[in-house]
Homo-oligomer: A and B are copies of this chain.
Amino acid sequence: MKKSYTAVVGLVSGFLILILSIMTSGDLKSFIDVASIAVTLGGSFAALVVSFPLKELLKVPKILKLLLNKGVEDRTNLITLFADMAKKARRDGLLALEDDIADMEDEFLVSGLQMVVDGVEPDVIRDILTLRLETTERRHRMGQSIFNKWGELAPAFGMLGTLIGLIVMLANLQDAAAIGSGMAVALITTFYGALVANLIFIPIASNLAVQTDEEMITKEMMIDGILEIQAGTNPRILEEKLTTYLSPEELKILKQSRETAQSEELSYE
C-alpha cells in the first residue's frame, strides 16, 4: 500500500506555527518545563491506563503506523477484478477462481472467495463475512476511542496542573514579584493539555475514524461482489452495482478504462 505523509506534514507544520508564534512574542525556553509535561502527559496517560486494558494500549504504536496509510483505498481496481472473476466463473465454473485467490493479498477477500470455491452456502458466507467486518470495525473503534479519551484527559490534567500552580502561588502571595512568573508556569500545563489534545490526539482519532469508515465500505463492497459472483450474476450488472460504491472521481477513472474494455464485455450478455 502506498504511503501518505500528509498527517505527518500536518503535525509538523502545526508545531512549527506555534513555535514561530511563541518565538516572535517571547522566549521559547519559558514554554519548556519538564514537570509540566510530566503532569499533563504522564498524568493523563496514567488515567488512560486505568481506562483501557493494557493489551489495547500496547497496540497504540501499531495503530500510529496507520496514519501513514494512503487514506482512500483503490476501489476501481477492485471492480475490474470482480468483473474479471465474474466472467471467469460464468465461463469456467466457481472452482476456476482458486487460481485467482492464490495471487491476492487481502485476507478478507481471500477468505470470502475461498468459501465460495469450497461451496459454502451464501447465507453462511454473508454471516461470517459480516461478523468479521463487525469484529474488525470494533477493534478499530477501540483505537479511536483511546485517542479520543486521551484527548479528553490531557486538557483535564493540564487544568489540574494549573490548579496546583495557582494554589501554590496564592498560598505564598507575600512575594508579589513572583505572581506573574508563578501564573505563567501554572498556565503552561493548560497550554500543553490543549496543545496535545487539539493538535495530536483528537486529529489522530478523527483520522483513524475516517480510515475505518473507508475500510468498512470497501469490505461491504467485497461482500457484495463475492456473493454476486457466487450467484452467477451477469458481469455487467455486477459492475453496475459495485460502481455505486465509488465517488464521482473514482467513477471517472473507471469509465475510461471501461470504455476500452467494453467490446469484450458485450459478448457476455
Contacts and interface: CB of A to CB of B under 8 A. Distances in A.
Interface in A8-32: 9-11, 13-14, 17-18, 20-22, 24-27, 30-31
Nearest to A197: B156
Interface in A85-124: 115, 120, 124
A265 interface: no
A4 interface: yes
Given A160-B194, A171-B30, A203 B51 contact: yes
Contact of A18 (B21, B132, B164, B190): B164
Interface in A191-230: 191, 194-195, 197-200, 202-204, 206-207, 210-211, 213, 217
A10 B170 contact: no
B244 A53 contact: no
A129 to B, nearest CB: 8
A131 B171 CA distance: 58
Given A10-B47, A72-B55, A157 B206 contact: no
A42 interface: yes
Contacts of A185: 25
A204 B10 contact: no
Interface string A44-76: 001111111111100000000001000110000
What bracket does the count of chain A residues touching chain B fall in? Answer: 35 or more
A71 B59 CA distance: 14
A22 B163 CA distance: 10
A51 B167 contact: no
Contact of A35 (B21, B67, B115, B210): B21
B139 A50 contact: no
A50 B181 contact: no
Interface in A158-175: 159-161, 163-168, 170-173
A246 interface: yes
Given A56-B210, A131-B245, A194-B159, A21 B164 contact: yes
A127 interface: yes
Interface of A: 4, 6-7, 9-11, 13-14, 17-18, 20-22, 24-27, 30-31, 35, 38-39, 42-43, 46-56, 67, 71-72, 115, 120, 124, 127-128, 131-132, 135, 138-139, 142, 149, 153, 156-157, 159-161, 163-168, 170-173, 177, 179-181, 183-185, 187-188, 190-191, 194-195, 197-200, 202-204, 206-207, 210-211, 213, 217, 237, 240-241, 244-247
15 contacts: A10-B46, A10-B48, A18-B160, A21-B35, A30-B168, A47-B202, A47-B203, A50-B67, A51-B203, A52-B210, A128-B240, A128-B241, A135-B245, A139-B247, A170-B183
